[in-house]
Amino acid sequence: MEEMRIAVVDNFLNQADLIEIHQNIKRLHWNPFETDFYKGERVMSGMIADMSETLRRDIDNRVLRQAKELEDNDYSIFRAYINAWKCDDVSLPHTDQNHTTCVIYLNRDYNVSYGGETLFYDDDEDVVHAISPKAGRAVFFDGWLLHKAGSFNRRYQHDYRYTMAYKLTVDGDMEKAKNLRGE
């Protein structure tokens, strides 16, 4: 099996960063109609909100700097947003169709008993990696990998499972996506 490009960076955001983000989260304009699509099936999957300039001000540069440190490429931010899932929300496996995705976990009160791992699949659709959503942790991974976000289970009744997502591109991503779609 070919090694997957997945890198975990703990303490990517500190407690002060997480507090500031949570103070701003409720003010975002949330789209409650986010969907996942895989093998012809589409399901409602949490909510999504574009991040404000205030939230992105410092984090954009950190994400780009860390991505370049992990793999020396000239990255551009294609998109940045925050996801929110209620406990037991459904999500489907999917690919992001970009070079690198960075997911940052935002729940300061995370406990392993809540679940919510991000799962990564091999070509046979077997789970081969699971990343726990520890507060402030960032995971950088190949956006072409099949993966899915796990929602927290019903033991977590405090709020939503929040993640910040960055889609990073390099030259050639758009052509690769078109070829995979048969365009």
pLDDT at 83: 94
State phi, psi for 157 to the nearest 5 degrees: -115, 5
In angstroms, the Cα distances linking 171 to 36, 100, 143, 177, 181 are 26, 12, 14, 12, 18
In a domain, 1, yes or no: no
Instruction: Identify whether 162 is part of a domain.
Output: yes
Q: How far apart are the C-alpha atoms of 49 and 27, rounded to whole Å?
A: 10
Residue 165 belongs to a domain: yes
Domain assignment present for residue 145? The answer is yes
CA dist., res. 44 & res. 24, Å (int): 24
Q: Per the domain annotation, does 152 fall within a domain?
A: yes
Q: What is the domain extent for residue 99?
A: 6-181
CATH code, domain carrying 62:
2.60.120.620
Answer for the pair 100, 71: CB distance below 8 angstroms, yes or no. Answer: yes
The tens-digit pLDDT sequence of the chain (183 residues) is 468 999 999 999 999 999 999 998 888 999 888 777 777 777 777 899 998 887 888 899 999 999 999 999 999 999 999 999 999 888 889 998 899 999 999 999 999 999 999 999 999 999 999 999 999 999 999 999 999 999 999 999 888 999 999 999 998 777 766 666 666
At residue 158, the pLDDT reads: 81
Q: Are 7 and 70 in contact (CB under 8 A)?
A: yes
Measure the CA–CA gap between 11 and 155, rounded to whole angstroms: 25
In a domain? residue 122: yes
User: How many domains is the chain partitioned into structurally?
Assistant: 1
- For the entire predicted model, the pTM comes to 0.91
Q: Is residue 25 part of a domain?
A: yes
Tokens of 137: 């942790």
Q: Is the torsion defined by CA of 103, 106, 112, 116 positive or negative?
A: negative
pLDDT of residue 59: 96
